[in-house]
Structure 1
Amino acid sequence: MTRTTRAALLLAATALTPALLLSTPASAAVQTATASATASAPVDQMSDDDVRVAIARILADPASGRAVIREANKALDGTIADQRAFLETGYRLAQAEDDRVAIARILADPASGVAVKREAGKALDGTMDDQRAFLETGYRLAQAEDDRVAIARILADPKSGVAVKREAGKALDGTMDDQRAFLETGYRLAQGEDDRVAALRIIADPKSSAALRAAASAALDGTLEELRYFIAVGQYQVH
Protein backbone atom coordinates (compact mmCIF):
# COMPACT_ATOMS: atom_id res chain seq x y z
CA MET A 1 0.00 0.00 0.00
CA THR A 2 1.40 3.41 -0.95
CA ARG A 3 1.99 6.16 1.59
CA THR A 4 -0.65 8.31 -0.12
CA THR A 5 -3.26 5.57 0.15
CA ARG A 6 -2.33 4.87 3.77
CA ALA A 7 -2.56 8.57 4.63
CA ALA A 8 -5.97 8.80 2.99
CA LEU A 9 -7.17 5.81 5.00
CA LEU A 10 -5.91 7.30 8.25
CA LEU A 11 -7.64 10.58 7.45
CA ALA A 12 -10.88 8.75 6.77
CA ALA A 13 -10.50 6.69 9.93
CA THR A 14 -9.90 9.65 12.23
CA ALA A 15 -12.89 11.44 10.75
CA LEU A 16 -15.17 8.66 11.97
CA THR A 17 -16.47 8.30 15.52
CA PRO A 18 -13.57 7.16 17.78
CA ALA A 19 -13.66 3.49 18.72
CA LEU A 20 -13.00 2.18 22.20
CA LEU A 21 -10.79 -0.58 20.89
CA LEU A 22 -8.76 -1.25 23.99
CA SER A 23 -11.73 -1.75 26.25
CA THR A 24 -13.60 -4.37 24.23
CA PRO A 25 -12.99 -7.95 23.10
CA ALA A 26 -11.39 -8.38 19.68
CA SER A 27 -14.56 -9.12 17.74
CA ALA A 28 -16.44 -6.26 19.38
CA ALA A 29 -13.49 -3.94 18.83
CA VAL A 30 -13.46 -4.67 15.12
CA GLN A 31 -17.19 -4.12 14.93
CA THR A 32 -16.91 -0.88 16.89
CA ALA A 33 -14.07 0.28 14.68
CA THR A 34 -16.24 -0.09 11.60
CA ALA A 35 -19.67 0.62 13.03
CA SER A 36 -20.34 3.83 11.16
CA ALA A 37 -19.49 2.27 7.81
CA THR A 38 -20.72 -1.30 8.24
CA ALA A 39 -23.37 -1.31 10.97
CA SER A 40 -21.20 -3.78 12.94
CA ALA A 41 -21.12 -6.32 10.12
CA PRO A 42 -18.94 -9.41 10.61
CA VAL A 43 -15.56 -9.20 8.91
CA ASP A 44 -16.57 -11.61 6.15
CA GLN A 45 -19.48 -9.32 5.26
CA MET A 46 -17.40 -6.12 5.19
CA SER A 47 -16.33 -4.56 1.92
CA ASP A 48 -12.63 -4.34 1.14
CA ASP A 49 -12.70 -0.60 1.77
CA ASP A 50 -14.41 -1.06 5.14
CA VAL A 51 -11.77 -3.60 6.14
CA ARG A 52 -8.98 -1.15 5.35
CA VAL A 53 -10.73 1.69 7.17
CA ALA A 54 -11.17 -0.53 10.24
CA ILE A 55 -7.43 -1.26 10.30
CA ALA A 56 -6.63 2.41 9.76
CA ARG A 57 -8.79 3.27 12.76
CA ILE A 58 -6.84 0.80 14.86
CA LEU A 59 -3.61 2.47 13.72
CA ALA A 60 -5.02 5.90 14.54
CA ASP A 61 -6.12 4.86 18.03
CA PRO A 62 -3.63 6.22 20.61
CA ALA A 63 -4.48 3.23 22.83
CA SER A 64 -3.08 0.76 20.29
CA GLY A 65 0.15 -0.84 21.50
CA ARG A 66 3.35 -1.61 19.63
CA ALA A 67 2.41 -5.14 18.61
CA VAL A 68 -1.01 -4.03 17.39
CA ILE A 69 0.51 -1.21 15.34
CA ARG A 70 3.18 -3.53 13.94
CA GLU A 71 0.67 -6.17 12.85
CA ALA A 72 -1.82 -3.61 11.54
CA ASN A 73 0.87 -2.10 9.33
CA LYS A 74 1.86 -5.54 8.08
CA ALA A 75 -1.77 -6.23 7.23
CA LEU A 76 -2.16 -2.97 5.31
CA ASP A 77 1.00 -3.80 3.36
CA GLY A 78 -0.39 -7.23 2.52
CA THR A 79 -3.35 -8.56 0.59
CA ILE A 80 -7.00 -8.08 1.40
CA ALA A 81 -6.93 -11.65 2.74
CA ASP A 82 -4.14 -10.61 5.12
CA GLN A 83 -6.19 -7.64 6.22
CA ARG A 84 -9.29 -9.72 6.90
CA ALA A 85 -7.19 -12.24 8.81
CA PHE A 86 -5.79 -9.44 10.95
CA LEU A 87 -9.27 -8.23 11.90
CA GLU A 88 -10.52 -11.76 12.57
CA THR A 89 -7.62 -13.09 14.64
CA GLY A 90 -4.39 -11.12 14.30
CA TYR A 91 -5.63 -8.03 16.10
CA ARG A 92 -6.55 -9.96 19.24
CA LEU A 93 -3.26 -11.88 19.22
CA ALA A 94 -1.27 -8.67 18.84
CA GLN A 95 -3.34 -7.03 21.56
CA ALA A 96 -2.59 -10.00 23.82
CA GLU A 97 1.13 -9.49 23.19
CA ASP A 98 0.80 -5.84 24.20
CA ASP A 99 -1.23 -6.85 27.25
CA ARG A 100 1.49 -9.20 28.46
CA VAL A 101 4.11 -6.48 28.08
CA ALA A 102 1.92 -4.03 30.00
CA ILE A 103 1.39 -6.51 32.84
CA ALA A 104 5.09 -7.33 32.98
CA ARG A 105 5.82 -3.62 33.38
CA ILE A 106 3.29 -3.38 36.21
CA LEU A 107 5.00 -6.32 37.93
CA ALA A 108 8.41 -4.67 37.53
CA ASP A 109 7.20 -1.29 38.82
CA PRO A 110 8.52 -0.76 42.36
CA ALA A 111 5.43 1.36 43.07
CA SER A 112 3.10 -1.60 42.51
CA GLY A 113 1.59 -2.90 45.74
CA VAL A 114 1.15 -6.42 47.05
CA ALA A 115 -2.38 -6.87 45.67
CA VAL A 116 -1.47 -5.46 42.26
CA LYS A 117 1.51 -7.80 41.94
CA ARG A 118 -0.56 -10.75 43.13
CA GLU A 119 -3.30 -10.15 40.56
CA ALA A 120 -0.84 -9.29 37.79
CA GLY A 121 0.95 -12.59 38.40
CA LYS A 122 -2.35 -14.47 38.24
CA ALA A 123 -3.22 -12.73 34.99
CA LEU A 124 0.09 -13.62 33.36
CA ASP A 125 -0.48 -17.25 34.34
CA GLY A 126 -3.98 -17.15 32.83
CA THR A 127 -5.53 -16.76 29.41
CA MET A 128 -5.55 -13.81 27.03
CA ASP A 129 -9.00 -12.94 28.36
CA ASP A 130 -7.69 -13.03 31.94
CA GLN A 131 -4.92 -10.61 31.00
CA ARG A 132 -7.32 -8.26 29.21
CA ALA A 133 -9.71 -8.37 32.17
CA PHE A 134 -6.88 -7.52 34.55
CA LEU A 135 -5.90 -4.44 32.54
CA GLU A 136 -9.50 -3.32 32.09
CA THR A 137 -10.77 -3.80 35.65
CA GLY A 138 -8.61 -6.07 37.80
CA TYR A 139 -5.65 -3.71 37.98
CA ARG A 140 -7.75 -0.86 39.35
CA LEU A 141 -9.48 -3.14 41.86
CA ALA A 142 -6.15 -4.51 43.07
CA GLN A 143 -4.74 -1.00 43.25
CA ALA A 144 -7.74 0.01 45.36
CA GLU A 145 -7.00 -2.86 47.73
CA ASP A 146 -3.42 -1.65 48.08
CA ASP A 147 -4.65 1.92 48.56
CA ARG A 148 -6.89 0.90 51.45
CA VAL A 149 -4.01 -0.93 53.12
CA ALA A 150 -1.76 2.11 52.70
CA ILE A 151 -4.37 4.45 54.18
CA ALA A 152 -5.01 2.09 57.09
CA ARG A 153 -1.28 2.15 57.84
CA ILE A 154 -1.28 5.94 57.77
CA LEU A 155 -4.19 5.96 60.22
CA ALA A 156 -2.37 3.53 62.52
CA ASP A 157 0.90 5.50 62.41
CA PRO A 158 1.34 7.36 65.73
CA LYS A 159 3.26 10.06 63.84
CA SER A 160 0.23 10.93 61.70
CA GLY A 161 -1.25 14.28 62.67
CA VAL A 162 -4.83 15.35 63.23
CA ALA A 163 -5.41 16.59 59.67
CA VAL A 164 -3.83 13.51 58.13
CA LYS A 165 -6.00 11.17 60.20
CA ARG A 166 -9.09 13.24 59.45
CA GLU A 167 -8.53 13.12 55.69
CA ALA A 168 -7.46 9.47 55.74
CA GLY A 169 -10.69 8.57 57.52
CA LYS A 170 -12.71 10.49 54.94
CA ALA A 171 -10.89 8.70 52.14
CA LEU A 172 -11.57 5.26 53.60
CA ASP A 173 -15.25 6.16 53.85
CA GLY A 174 -15.26 7.30 50.21
CA THR A 175 -14.83 5.74 46.81
CA MET A 176 -11.81 4.13 45.20
CA ASP A 177 -11.16 7.42 43.44
CA ASP A 178 -11.30 9.29 46.75
CA GLN A 179 -8.72 6.92 48.21
CA ARG A 180 -6.42 7.26 45.20
CA ALA A 181 -6.74 11.05 45.30
CA PHE A 182 -5.86 11.07 49.00
CA LEU A 183 -2.68 9.09 48.42
CA GLU A 184 -1.67 11.12 45.38
CA THR A 185 -2.35 14.63 46.72
CA GLY A 186 -4.61 14.75 49.77
CA TYR A 187 -2.15 13.09 52.12
CA ARG A 188 0.56 15.62 51.36
CA LEU A 189 -1.85 18.55 51.73
CA ALA A 190 -3.14 17.24 55.07
CA GLN A 191 0.43 16.66 56.21
CA GLY A 192 1.17 20.26 55.25
CA GLU A 193 -1.72 21.41 57.44
CA ASP A 194 -0.33 19.43 60.38
CA ASP A 195 3.15 20.79 59.70
CA ARG A 196 1.87 24.37 59.79
CA VAL A 197 0.20 23.72 63.15
CA ALA A 198 3.44 22.23 64.47
CA ALA A 199 5.47 25.23 63.26
CA LEU A 200 3.01 27.67 64.85
CA ARG A 201 3.29 25.80 68.14
CA ILE A 202 7.06 26.11 68.00
CA ILE A 203 6.72 29.86 67.45
CA ALA A 204 4.23 30.16 70.34
CA ASP A 205 6.30 28.04 72.72
CA PRO A 206 8.08 30.33 75.22
CA LYS A 207 10.84 27.74 75.49
CA SER A 208 11.72 28.10 71.80
CA SER A 209 14.86 30.10 71.11
CA ALA A 210 14.80 33.17 68.90
CA ALA A 211 16.72 31.25 66.26
CA LEU A 212 14.21 28.39 66.32
CA ARG A 213 11.28 30.81 66.04
CA ALA A 214 12.94 32.53 63.11
CA ALA A 215 13.56 29.20 61.40
CA ALA A 216 9.93 28.15 61.97
CA SER A 217 8.68 31.46 60.52
CA ALA A 218 10.90 31.02 57.48
CA ALA A 219 9.58 27.49 57.00
CA LEU A 220 5.99 28.75 57.17
CA ASP A 221 6.79 31.19 54.38
CA GLY A 222 8.26 28.42 52.22
CA THR A 223 6.89 25.47 50.29
CA LEU A 224 5.21 22.39 51.70
CA GLU A 225 8.45 20.50 51.11
CA GLU A 226 10.51 23.09 52.98
CA LEU A 227 8.04 23.07 55.85
CA ARG A 228 8.10 19.25 55.97
CA TYR A 229 11.90 19.26 56.09
CA PHE A 230 11.89 21.78 58.93
CA ILE A 231 9.43 19.76 61.01
CA ALA A 232 11.12 16.43 60.31
CA VAL A 233 14.77 17.50 60.41
CA GLY A 234 15.51 21.21 60.36
CA GLN A 235 14.15 22.17 63.77
CA TYR A 236 16.61 19.81 65.42
CA GLN A 237 19.54 21.44 63.63
CA VAL A 238 18.84 24.93 64.97
CA HIS A 239 21.09 25.84 67.88
Structure 2
Amino acid sequence: MTMKPVRVAAVATAAVLAPVVLFSSPAVAAGTADRGTVASATATASPASPAAKDYAHMSMDDLRVEVLTLMAKSPEKSSMRVYGSRALDKRTAEALVEFLEVGQYKAQEEDDRYAVLAILGKNPGRGVTRAANKALDGNAADLRYSLETGRYKAQEEDDRYAVLRLMTQHPSDAFRAAASKALDGGPAAVRQFLEVGQYQVR
Protein backbone atom coordinates (compact mmCIF):
# COMPACT_ATOMS: atom_id res chain seq x y z
CA MET A 1 0.00 0.00 0.00
CA THR A 2 1.48 3.34 -1.06
CA MET A 3 1.45 5.96 1.62
CA LYS A 4 1.33 9.70 0.90
CA PRO A 5 3.24 12.31 2.89
CA VAL A 6 1.36 13.39 5.96
CA ARG A 7 0.86 16.98 7.17
CA VAL A 8 0.20 16.76 10.88
CA ALA A 9 -1.56 19.70 12.50
CA ALA A 10 0.62 21.73 14.82
CA VAL A 11 -1.45 20.80 17.84
CA ALA A 12 -0.75 17.13 17.11
CA THR A 13 3.00 17.31 16.72
CA ALA A 14 4.10 16.86 20.33
CA ALA A 15 1.94 13.82 21.00
CA VAL A 16 2.62 12.18 17.67
CA LEU A 17 6.35 12.36 18.22
CA ALA A 18 6.00 10.45 21.50
CA PRO A 19 7.75 7.07 21.70
CA VAL A 20 6.01 4.47 19.59
CA VAL A 21 4.59 1.43 21.33
CA LEU A 22 5.81 -1.44 19.20
CA PHE A 23 4.29 -4.87 18.94
CA SER A 24 6.05 -7.27 21.32
CA SER A 25 6.56 -10.83 20.12
CA PRO A 26 7.25 -14.18 21.77
CA ALA A 27 10.85 -15.41 21.84
CA VAL A 28 10.06 -17.93 19.14
CA ALA A 29 9.17 -15.24 16.65
CA ALA A 30 11.53 -14.44 13.84
CA GLY A 31 10.87 -10.71 14.38
CA THR A 32 8.10 -8.16 14.08
CA ALA A 33 6.82 -6.92 10.75
CA ASP A 34 7.69 -3.41 9.68
CA ARG A 35 5.55 -0.57 8.45
CA GLY A 36 8.02 1.49 6.65
CA THR A 37 8.55 -0.52 8.81
CA VAL A 38 6.26 -1.74 11.53
CA ALA A 39 2.50 -1.95 11.45
CA SER A 40 0.61 -0.55 14.38
CA ALA A 41 -0.25 -3.03 17.06
CA THR A 42 -2.72 -0.77 18.80
CA ALA A 43 -5.46 -2.78 20.44
CA THR A 44 -8.76 -1.11 19.63
CA ALA A 45 -12.35 -2.07 20.23
CA SER A 46 -14.45 -2.78 17.18
CA PRO A 47 -17.36 -0.44 16.40
CA ALA A 48 -19.80 -3.01 17.77
CA SER A 49 -17.82 -3.65 20.93
CA PRO A 50 -19.48 -2.89 24.30
CA ALA A 51 -16.21 -1.18 25.26
CA ALA A 52 -16.56 1.41 22.47
CA LYS A 53 -16.58 4.96 23.81
CA ASP A 54 -19.35 7.50 23.37
CA TYR A 55 -17.36 9.87 21.18
CA ALA A 56 -20.41 11.85 20.10
CA HIS A 57 -20.68 13.46 23.54
CA MET A 58 -17.00 14.31 24.01
CA SER A 59 -15.57 17.82 23.86
CA MET A 60 -13.25 18.84 21.03
CA ASP A 61 -10.27 18.68 23.36
CA ASP A 62 -11.14 15.16 24.49
CA LEU A 63 -11.65 14.06 20.91
CA ARG A 64 -8.24 15.41 19.94
CA VAL A 65 -6.65 13.56 22.85
CA GLU A 66 -8.29 10.30 21.70
CA VAL A 67 -7.01 10.76 18.14
CA LEU A 68 -3.53 11.81 19.23
CA THR A 69 -3.29 8.82 21.56
CA LEU A 70 -4.01 6.42 18.72
CA MET A 71 -1.51 8.18 16.49
CA ALA A 72 1.20 8.19 19.17
CA LYS A 73 0.86 4.42 19.54
CA SER A 74 1.34 3.93 15.81
CA PRO A 75 4.58 4.19 13.81
CA GLU A 76 5.30 6.95 11.35
CA LYS A 77 3.81 6.46 7.88
CA SER A 78 1.15 4.13 9.26
CA SER A 79 -2.44 4.48 8.05
CA MET A 80 -3.44 5.27 11.63
CA ARG A 81 -1.31 8.40 11.54
CA VAL A 82 -2.37 9.33 8.01
CA TYR A 83 -6.09 9.14 8.72
CA GLY A 84 -5.73 10.65 12.19
CA SER A 85 -3.80 13.60 10.80
CA ARG A 86 -6.41 14.20 8.13
CA ALA A 87 -9.15 14.21 10.75
CA LEU A 88 -7.24 16.68 12.93
CA ASP A 89 -6.59 18.97 9.98
CA LYS A 90 -10.33 19.31 9.32
CA ARG A 91 -10.73 20.88 12.79
CA THR A 92 -14.30 19.69 13.25
CA ALA A 93 -15.84 17.43 15.86
CA GLU A 94 -17.60 15.51 13.09
CA ALA A 95 -14.32 14.60 11.42
CA LEU A 96 -12.77 13.46 14.69
CA VAL A 97 -15.80 11.38 15.66
CA GLU A 98 -15.90 9.78 12.20
CA PHE A 99 -12.25 8.80 12.54
CA LEU A 100 -12.73 7.40 16.04
CA GLU A 101 -15.92 5.49 15.21
CA VAL A 102 -14.97 4.25 11.73
CA GLY A 103 -11.64 5.47 10.39
CA GLN A 104 -9.41 4.02 13.07
CA TYR A 105 -10.64 0.49 12.33
CA LYS A 106 -10.07 0.91 8.61
CA ALA A 107 -6.60 2.26 9.36
CA GLN A 108 -5.80 -0.62 11.70
CA GLU A 109 -6.85 -3.16 9.09
CA GLU A 110 -4.66 -1.49 6.47
CA ASP A 111 -1.69 -1.44 8.83
CA ASP A 112 -2.23 -5.08 9.77
CA ARG A 113 -2.46 -6.09 6.12
CA TYR A 114 0.78 -4.27 5.39
CA ALA A 115 2.44 -6.00 8.34
CA VAL A 116 1.41 -9.43 7.08
CA LEU A 117 2.69 -8.57 3.61
CA ALA A 118 5.98 -7.47 5.20
CA ILE A 119 6.28 -10.89 6.84
CA LEU A 120 5.81 -12.56 3.46
CA GLY A 121 8.44 -10.25 2.02
CA LYS A 122 11.02 -11.81 4.33
CA ASN A 123 10.62 -15.15 2.53
CA PRO A 124 9.49 -17.17 5.58
CA GLY A 125 9.02 -20.91 5.81
CA ARG A 126 6.07 -22.82 4.45
CA GLY A 127 4.00 -22.66 7.62
CA VAL A 128 4.35 -18.90 8.06
CA THR A 129 3.72 -18.34 4.35
CA ARG A 130 0.57 -20.42 4.47
CA ALA A 131 -0.70 -18.66 7.61
CA ALA A 132 0.02 -15.22 6.16
CA ASN A 133 -1.77 -15.95 2.88
CA LYS A 134 -4.74 -17.30 4.78
CA ALA A 135 -4.91 -14.10 6.83
CA LEU A 136 -4.70 -11.95 3.70
CA ASP A 137 -7.64 -13.84 2.24
CA GLY A 138 -9.67 -13.19 5.39
CA ASN A 139 -11.01 -10.16 7.22
CA ALA A 140 -9.64 -7.70 9.77
CA ALA A 141 -9.97 -10.20 12.62
CA ASP A 142 -8.00 -12.79 10.64
CA LEU A 143 -5.20 -10.31 10.05
CA ARG A 144 -5.02 -9.38 13.73
CA TYR A 145 -5.07 -13.03 14.80
CA SER A 146 -2.24 -13.80 12.40
CA LEU A 147 -0.07 -11.01 13.81
CA GLU A 148 -0.84 -11.71 17.46
CA THR A 149 -0.95 -15.52 17.46
CA GLY A 150 -1.04 -17.32 14.14
CA ARG A 151 2.38 -16.42 12.85
CA TYR A 152 4.07 -17.66 16.01
CA LYS A 153 2.33 -21.00 15.84
CA ALA A 154 3.30 -21.23 12.18
CA GLN A 155 6.90 -20.29 12.99
CA GLU A 156 7.04 -23.11 15.52
CA GLU A 157 5.84 -25.49 12.83
CA ASP A 158 8.54 -24.28 10.45
CA ASP A 159 11.23 -24.52 13.13
CA ARG A 160 10.31 -28.11 14.01
CA TYR A 161 10.35 -29.06 10.34
CA ALA A 162 13.80 -27.49 9.99
CA VAL A 163 15.15 -29.52 12.91
CA LEU A 164 13.72 -32.75 11.50
CA ARG A 165 15.31 -31.99 8.15
CA LEU A 166 18.67 -31.40 9.82
CA MET A 167 18.38 -34.77 11.54
CA THR A 168 18.22 -36.47 8.14
CA GLN A 169 21.28 -34.53 6.97
CA HIS A 170 23.37 -35.23 10.08
CA PRO A 171 22.68 -38.83 11.13
CA SER A 172 25.26 -38.96 13.92
CA ASP A 173 23.97 -40.21 17.25
CA ALA A 174 25.12 -37.08 19.06
CA PHE A 175 23.36 -34.77 16.63
CA ARG A 176 20.14 -36.77 16.68
CA ALA A 177 20.16 -36.82 20.47
CA ALA A 178 20.60 -33.04 20.69
CA ALA A 179 17.94 -32.43 18.05
CA SER A 180 15.47 -34.77 19.75
CA LYS A 181 16.07 -33.04 23.07
CA ALA A 182 15.31 -29.70 21.43
CA LEU A 183 12.10 -31.02 19.88
CA ASP A 184 10.99 -32.26 23.30
CA GLY A 185 11.77 -28.90 24.91
CA GLY A 186 9.23 -26.65 23.22
CA PRO A 187 9.41 -23.68 20.82
CA ALA A 188 12.22 -21.81 22.59
CA ALA A 189 14.42 -24.92 22.72
CA VAL A 190 13.83 -25.61 19.04
CA ARG A 191 14.70 -22.05 18.09
CA GLN A 192 17.84 -22.15 20.28
CA PHE A 193 18.94 -25.36 18.59
CA LEU A 194 18.52 -23.86 15.13
CA GLU A 195 20.38 -20.68 16.02
CA VAL A 196 23.12 -22.11 18.24
CA GLY A 197 22.86 -25.74 19.24
CA GLN A 198 23.19 -27.35 15.84
CA TYR A 199 26.63 -25.78 15.38
CA GLN A 200 27.83 -27.12 18.71
CA VAL A 201 27.02 -30.74 17.93
CA ARG A 202 28.31 -32.53 14.86
Q: TM-score, normalised by structure 1?
A: 0.62
SS at match of 1:22: coil
What runs of 5+ residues in structure 1 fail to find an aligned partner?
A: 33-39, 195-239
CA contact (8 A) 2:42 2:70 kept: no
Render the CA deviation track for 1:10-65: whole Å, top value 9, x for unaligned: 58x77xxx79872534449x999xxxxxxx74323433222211221222225576
Of 75, 83, 86, the match for 1:74: 86
Distance in 2 separating the partners of 1:23 and 1:59: 9
Q: Does 1:187 align with 2:198?
A: yes
Q: Does 1:54 align with 2:60?
A: no
For residues 67-216 of structure 1, what are the structure 2 equivalents within 5 Å? Answer: 67-78=79-90, 79-110=92-123, 112-157=124-169, 159=170, 161=172, 164-188=175-199, 190-191=200-201, 194=202
**RMSD between superposed Cα atoms in Å:** 3.2
What is the aligned length?
Answer: 176
Which of structures 1 and 2 has the larger relative contact order (alpha carbons within 8 angstroms, sep 6+)? Answer: 2
User: Larger % of helix: which?
Assistant: 1
Distance in 1 separating the partners of 2:22 and 2:162: 36
Q: TM-score, normalised by structure 2?
A: 0.71
SS at match of 2:138: coil
* Residues 179/90 of structure 1: CA separation in 2 closer, same or farther (3 Å cut): same
Shift of 1:126: 0.9
* Residues 19/98 of structure 1: CA separation in 2 closer, same or farther (3 Å cut): closer
Distance in 2 separating the partners of 1:86 and 1:128: 17
SS at match of 2:12: helix
Q: Which residue of 1 aligns with 2:41?
A: 22
SS at match of 1:24: coil
Shift of 1:176: 1.8
